Amino acid sequence: MTSDSESKPQTDMPSFVSTLKSCKHIIAVAGAGLSAASGIPTFRGAGGLWRKYDAITLATPQAFKENPSRVWQFYHYRREKALAAQPNPGHLALAMCSVPSIREKILPGASFTLITQNVDGLSRRALDQIAEMHPELAEEIRSPVVQDSLLEMHGRLFDVVCTSSKCGHREHNLDSPVCPALAGTENVFAQNQPEPHIDVADLPKCKKCGSLARPGVVWFGEIPWHLRDIDVEVRKADLCIVVGTSSKVYPAAGYASEVQARGGKVAVFNVDRSDGDQRADFLFLGPSESTLPKALGLQDDTE
């Protein structure tokens, strides 16, 4: 048995940095807190969506079947929020780790995979921003090696998917609003008002077959994406960086302990205490948009 003081996570950056340098396979598991500084509401934290709304009536296949108008208004609100947002320094720090030629300087010899529960697209946009800032890296950043190392396990807000099992067409759709009838309804969820009814005929449709379309996200009760790829990465990881997640939703919440069970280390970055963080090897309490770039050596301590 270990005493409390022996099992407490370490909080000093220099020890983390030296652990980081010795790791060969690094994964990061991200949640809504990573995007909080970009103005995207979290789910369970202060002001979180699931504190105001019942997830079962908004984020389940059953909810969509019963009231697609309400569910689409909720996702329209979240799409508009995400479209207006910009990646923050936390997204950029993780994106830098995803680009091999940058990673070689900060994490020499290591692989890096970002497993995100976020559907807002900000981690992919962070990669685009780095490509814009460094045109010489654009080709590398567009390559599958980089793009496929970002695993959006809960789907994507900007995918629209056909509900017809015969069709199932999926497309990337950045339209704002996603269909004319939803224009203006984002305020319903922003201001907690009763939502107007929109006819199914006026909701987004599949561009191939005309059936009702749904948001391309993973709802409660559905199987997350990329589970096989994630399993491969979790099995070989010697470091799991857990960023901005309450660690309440599985399977994502279980990856850190899987890595630890195989002898790897866990570092938690969260503004607050979160599930399982007492078992972490490192704990950095604070906003990840500032702690993460610092821990990865991407920001000067002296500012």
Active site residue ranges: 154
245 contributes a contact to ligand APR by CB under 6 A: yes
Question: Percentage helix, strand, coil, to 5, in the chain?
Answer: 45, 15, 40
Of 61 and 251, the one with the shorter C-beta distance to Zn ion is 61
96 CB burial (10 A radius; 0-12, 13-18, 19+): buried
Alpha-carbon span 240 to 271, nearest angstrom = 18
x/- track of binding to ligand APR for residues 262-281 (CB under 6 A)? --------xxx-x-------
**Three-state DSSP class for residue 277:** helix
Contact 32, 45 (CB under 8 A): yes
157 contributes a contact to ligand APR by CB under 6 A: no
Contact 190, 84 (CB under 8 A): no
Q: In sequence order, what are the residues at sequence separation of 6 or more whose Cβ sits closer than 8 angstroms to the Cβ of residue 220? A: 55, 56, 59, 60
Pick the closest to residue 189 from 81, 66, 27 (CA basis). Answer: 81
Buried-state track 274-286, b at ≥16 Cβ within 10 A, e below 16: bebbeebbbbbee
| Closest distance of CB 202 from ligand APR, Å | 27
Report residue 259: phi and psi, to 5°. Answer: -65, -45
Instruction: Restricting to residues 134-163, name those near Zn ion by CB under 5 A.
Output: 162
| Closest distance of CB 117 from ligand APR, Å | 3
Peptide bond into 177 cis (omega under 30): yes
Q: 213 among the known binding-site residues?
A: no
| Closest distance of CB 16 from ligand APR, Å | 16
x/- track of binding to ligand APR for residues 204-243 (CB under 6 A)? ----------------------------------------
Residue 169 interacts with which of ligand APR, Zn ion, none, CB < 5 to 8 Å by class: Zn ion
Q: Judged by CB under 5 A, which of 84, 174, 209, 227 binds Zn ion? A: 209
283 contributes a contact to ligand APR by CB under 6 A: no
Cite the annotated binding site for Zn(2+) by residue number: 162, 167, 206, 209
Residues that bind ligand APR (CB under 6 A): 31-33, 36-37, 42-45, 48, 55, 117, 154, 244-246, 248-249, 270-272, 274, 287-289
Residues that bind Zn ion (CB under 5 A): 162, 164, 167, 169, 206, 208-209, 211
